[in-house]
Amino acid sequence: MSTPPIEHDRSEAQRLENLLAAAVVLVLLLGAGIAGVVAVSRRGPDALPAYAQPAAAPVPADAAARTTWARDAAGPTGVPERALVAYAGAEAAARGELADCGLSWVTLAGLGRVESNHGRFGDTALDDAGRPVDPIRGPELDGTNGNREIRDTDGGRLDGDTTYDRAVGPLQFIPTTWAQYGADGDGDGVDDPDDLDDAALAAARYLCADDRDLRRGDDWRAAVLAYNRSQAYVDRVRREAVGAATALDRP
């Protein structure tokens, strides 16, 4: 009378053992799959470490202290004091808004030098509010002279051109890019690409897009290439950024 129950127990035990074995195999397979996903999504080694953002000491967090810093840094770097205030303000803002990006003012200074000579293109200059006295506009993007053709997208609101778009301001934003990344860097309630405070913070957002870490060479190069798809442009911006950084390291 005891044999059937014993045989039943053995069959049940075997079935449970088989189920457990299958479960273990499934867990191992799932684990391998998850590990594979992590391995694919995990950032790999820096492919271009030599292009990492030039190192520079962080700017002060306090606005008044940044103004003093800019006054002291203008001589050694050759960057106008008012432009440095804007670049430093964008770095300070990015430490909160874009903390993982590691943006430094030196990258913005490199861009500003190449794009408009820090708001001085065409013999103009920045006023006390950080705006060029004479507005800076790029050529019509009509497809000539190596430019892309971009038909008007803003009704001329930003660039004054109702036929084609033009790059606007000291950091040369086209209207469509400004519509996506525009910023109010000086807290006056207006986001204006002619205002270098606003444009510098917008540039920070643009450079840091796609989770870039500018302390990595591959990300820094990709960020500057996004601004202008030219390796010569990247190298020029880098020379200016390195020059600004090293100017403050000299005794």
Backbone angles phi, psi at 90, to 5 degrees: -70, -40
Residue with tokens 């500018």: 214
- 149 contacts 164 by C-beta, under 8 angstroms: yes
CA distances, 26 to each of 13, 20, 35, 61, 73 (Å): 20, 10, 14, 52, 62
- Rounded to a whole number of angstroms, the distance between the first and last alpha carbons of the chain is 99
Q: pLDDT tens digits, residue range 183-211? A: 999 999 999 999 999 999 999 999 999 99
Tell whether 166 is covered by a domain.
Answer: no
Burial 194-209 (b: 16+ CB within 10 A, else e): bbbbbbbbbbbbbbbe
Separation between Cα atoms, residue 155 and residue 39, nearest integer Å: 47
Query: 6 or 93: which carries more pLDDT confidence?
Result: 93
pLDDT one-digit tens code per residue, 58-73: 999 999 999 999 999 9
Which residues are within 8 A (CB) of 105 and not within 5 positions of it... i.e. 6 or more apart?
A: 56, 59, 84, 87, 88, 90, 91, 244
Residue 81 lies inside a defined structural domain of this protein: yes
User: How many domains does one find in the chain?
Assistant: 1
Q: What pLDDT is attached to residue 43?
A: 75
Do the domain assignments include residue 196?
Answer: yes
Is residue 215 domain-resident? Answer: yes
Lowest mean pLDDT among 116-120, 144-148, 158-162: 144-148
What distance in Å separates the CA atoms of residue 120 and residue 203, rounded to the nearest whole number? 18
- Do residues 245 and 107 make contact, with C-beta atoms less than 8 angstroms apart? no
Does some domain include residue 141?
Answer: no
Q: Using one digit for the tens of pLDDT, what is the confidence trace for 19-72? A: 333 333 333 333 333 333 333 345 789 999 999 999 999 999 999 999 999 999
Q: Given its phi and psi angles, is residue 125 left (phi above 0), alpha (psi -120 to 50 degrees) or beta?
A: beta
pLDDT at 77 over 90: yes
Q: Residue 189's domain spans which residues?
A: 63-133+184-249
Asked if the model's pLDDT at residue 17 lies above 80, the reply is no
Does residue 92 form part of some domain? yes
Mean pLDDT of the chain: 86
| Residues 153-159: contacts with CB under 8 Å, at least 24 apart | 153/179, 154/179, 158/193
In the predicted structure, residue 159 carries a pLDDT above the cut 70: yes
**Is the residue at 220 inside a domain?**
yes
pLDDT at 136 over 70: yes
Over residues 108-128, the mean pLDDT reads: 98
**Residue 221 forms part of a structural domain:** yes
